Amino acid sequence: MKEYLEVANDPILWLMSLPVVVLVAIQAIIFSKKAFKTASLVQLTKKEAKDAFRVGAISAIGPALAVFVVMLGMMAVVGAPMTWLRLSVIGAAPTELAASTMGAQAMGVEFGGEGYGVLQFANSVWAMTLNGIGWLLFVGLFAHKLEGIRDRVSGGDSKLTGEIGGAAMLGAMAYLVGGHLIAGSGRLIAALASAIAMIVLVKLSGKIPKLVEYNLGISMVIGMVAAIIYMG
């Protein structure tokens, strides 16, 4: 094991990462409580509110397992505690690895290569930290201002707000899937197969309402299996 990895896996570093991870959980719990408290105002029953939380929790299992797989690669180079911290908050493995690389470059060495020691690792940690706070600061300081802009655009028409939300989602997902479609091969097949599966499932769930909350999970698995079969 490289020398810096012993430092990167220092048990106390877990403790230093803990506050951020706990904060993420606390925020989710406080927001849920507020939502529960407000539920009756908008004719949301306690059971429905619980269901919403449960559906979110279950739907996240598939994507979270994908994060799990990516994490291992990151742990091998920046250690487990920093990986735990960075993947519990904003930023994803590619972002954090890019930041680590830039931190190493700024010290004139290759990330994980010759001359990458404790000091160089510390610079990678600084780069990940400073990059991550960009989003946190902007949203922390300005998110409440965005609310006003949205209301002005929709003019308080909630139906239009809904259409705008749907359109924004389509724009975002079109962008996210677009690169995979153009990449072709297994990624194209995965995207197409899961899209077709979703269309079929949406039609089916008209008859079987209980199915709806599993639509995403089932489509995802079909997409993955189709890609694996196609790639042999």
Show contacts with other proteins in window 118-177 (CB under 8 A): 118-127, 129-144, 146-147, 149-150, 153-154, 158-177
**Residue with Cβ nearer other proteins (27 or 110):** 27
Asked if 226 contacts 68 with a C-beta cutoff of 8 angstroms, the reply is no
To other proteins, the closest distance from the beta carbon of 58 in angstroms equals: 8
Q: How many Cβ atoms are within 10 Å of 46's Cβ, its own excluded?
A: 10
Give yes or no for residue 208 binding other proteins (CB under 8 A).
Answer: no
To other proteins, the closest distance from the beta carbon of 114 in angstroms equals: 17
User: How many residues sit close enough to other proteins to count as binding (CB under 8 A)?
Assistant: 157
Give yes or no for residue 227 binding other proteins (CB under 8 A).
Answer: yes
**Residue with Cβ nearer other proteins (114 or 149):** 149
Give yes or no for residue 204 binding other proteins (CB under 8 A).
Answer: no
The alpha-helical segments, DSSP class H, found in the chain are: 3-8, 11-38, 46-59, 61-78, 80-88, 93-106, 118-154, 158-183, 185-204, 215-231
To other proteins, the closest distance from the beta carbon of 126 in angstroms equals: 5
The token duo for 219 is 């489509």
To other proteins, the closest distance from the beta carbon of 72 in angstroms equals: 5
Give yes or no for residue 21 binding other proteins (CB under 8 A).
Answer: yes
The token duo for 191 is 């995207």
To other proteins, the closest distance from the beta carbon of 62 in angstroms equals: 7
**Residue with Cβ nearer other proteins (113 or 162):** 162
The enclosing H or E element of 109 equals none
Asked if 13 contacts 79 with a C-beta cutoff of 8 angstroms, the reply is yes
Distance between start and end Cα atoms, the chain: 36
**Residue with Cβ nearer other proteins (52 or 114):** 52
Q: How many Cβ atoms are within 10 Å of 199's Cβ, its own excluded?
A: 11
CA distance 8 to 80: 7
Return the residue of 112, 114, 223, 232 that touches other proteins, per CB under 8 A.
223
**Helices 46-59 + 61-78 axis angle, to 10:** 50
Return the residue of 1, 12, 152, 207 that touches other proteins, per CB under 8 A.
12
